[in-house]
Amino acid sequence: MNVLPNSDGAGLRAAARRGLRRGRDFVDETPPDALVTVTVAAVSLLAAFAGFLAVSSLTAIPFAVFLVATGYGWLRHQELTARVLTLTTTVSTILVLGLILVFIFAEAWPTVQYATVNVFGVPIPGLRLFIETRWSPVTPPIQYSLVPMIHGTVLVTIIATAVAAPLGVAAALFLSEIAPRTVRELVKPGVEILAGIPSIVYGFIGFTILSPWAADQFDIVGQGTYLFVGIVVGLMALPTVVSVAEDALNSVPESMKSGSLALGTTDWQTMTSITLPAAFSGVSAAVLLGVGRAIGETMAATVMLRGSPGLTKPLYNVFYGNATLTSLIAANYGDADGLQLSALFVAGVILFVTVLFLSIGSQYIEARMRRKLGGAE
């Protein structure tokens, strides 16, 4: 999405100097009462935020001051107030991400600490969460192993990706390159609408129709299989993959496609040799987005799985399904407290970090491809 500029110390220093200068200029140029208003607003907002964080009943007072100050600023110094307000909203957006990070990490910390293991005298916090395989939050010996859930999440994600990625990309190719215009104009919005089917509805159908059917077909004990959760999650991610990948394919310039066709190649050759490679970044971003959805998908897994953390036997037995990181949280948050609740937050941290990396990764791929393609967007 963006090209990271090379960060060298000199650049940073220069930037800092520029910032300082700009700050001074700003103070010089701004009328004093505007400056006061903005300062009051900023300080009171900060105070309100601090109050909220500290669970103070007085939070409302600085917030009221903030409202009054901005109201005054809006009437008298709209230009400046607008700028400051929009800056505030921007900062809050980043703050939300920061707060999520801080809070779920903080909540997760007790269990991470509890699960410290000494390796050659070096304490490694949280290691026990990943080397044990038993989740037993109540019955001693108490263990908070996340391995079974990670195993479940990985299996579901692999299956879902195997469903959503090839089918989704092929369908996107169909929509953007092959389908007649009328079909495309009907199907594209249809697919986008389908992306909105709530996951609980998929879960409902999976739970009432698919799970019993699978138990019957594969003669398994009980219901809930990673295989079918994976398939359902894959289907759920499918419209997203199709829609995003289609956009990417569509953004390949017509001149490139025409260029290939004018050389006397078939449509299929043009698609595989020109369009797909050129749209590679967008298509892979679509797939990564789909993978992210699959990893973070909660309700279908919660409803369809058995909810008893444990590894399947053998490990590749996809006909059994116990729990994923998400379903663990959804199924247990209500019963858990203390370290067990904290362990659920560890699961949340793992999910969050994984998906964040996927997101950053896809942004990076896209930026790189864009650079490589030069002007060809």
Residues 245-264 binding other proteins (CB under 8 A) are: 253-264
Q: What would the DSSP string read from start to end of 141-164? A: SPEE--HHHHHHHHHHHHHHHHHH
Distance CA 125, CA 123 (A): 6
Contact call for residues 188 and 249 (beta carbons, < 8 A): no
- DSSP lists the bridge partners of residue 135 as 144
Asked if 117 is part of the footprint of other proteins (rule: CB under 8 A), the reply reads no
Contact call for residues 263 and 298 (beta carbons, < 8 A): no
* Cβ-based nearer residue to other proteins, 89 or 118: 89
Distance CA 182, CA 215 (A): 41
Contact call for residues 214 and 143 (beta carbons, < 8 A): no
* Nearest distance, CB of residue 145 and other proteins, angstroms: 15
| 99, 113, 116, 368: which one binds other proteins (CB under 8 A) | 99
Q: With CB under 8 A as the contact rule, which of the stretches 30-38, 118-126, 144-152, 366-374 interacts with other proteins?
A: 366-374
SS (H, E, C) 259-283: HHHCCCCCHHHHHHHHHHHHCHHHH
* Cβ-based nearer residue to other proteins, 115 or 318: 318
Asked if 23 is part of the footprint of other proteins (rule: CB under 8 A), the reply reads no
Query: Per CB under 8 A, which of residues 172..191 are in contact with other proteins?
Result: 173-175, 178-179, 181, 187, 189-191
Return the beta strands (E) in 195-346 as ranges.
Answer: none
Asked if 6 is part of the footprint of other proteins (rule: CB under 8 A), the reply reads no
* Nearest distance, CB of residue 122 and other proteins, angstroms: 30
* Cβ-based nearer residue to other proteins, 124 or 167: 167
Query: Per CB under 8 A, which of residues 128..167 are in contact with other proteins?
Result: 137-140, 167
Query: Per CB under 8 A, which of residues 292..351 are in contact with other proteins?
Result: 292-293, 295-299, 302-303, 306-308, 312-314, 317, 319-320, 322, 326, 329-335, 337-338, 344-345, 348, 351
* Nearest distance, CB of residue 119 and other proteins, angstroms: 29
* Nearest distance, CB of residue 80 and other proteins, angstroms: 9
Distance CA 237, CA 231 (A): 10
* Cβ-based nearer residue to other proteins, 114 or 124: 114
* Nearest distance, CB of residue 159 and other proteins, angstroms: 15
The kind and range of the H/E element at 123 are strand 122-124
Query: Per CB under 8 A, which of residues 29..88 are in contact with other proteins?
Result: 52-53, 55-61, 64, 78-79, 82-83, 85-88
| 34, 36, 150, 355: which one binds other proteins (CB under 8 A) | 355
| Closest by CA position to 143, among listed 152, 132, 154 | 132
Cα dist. 237→28, 151, 233, 260 in Å?
54, 20, 6, 32
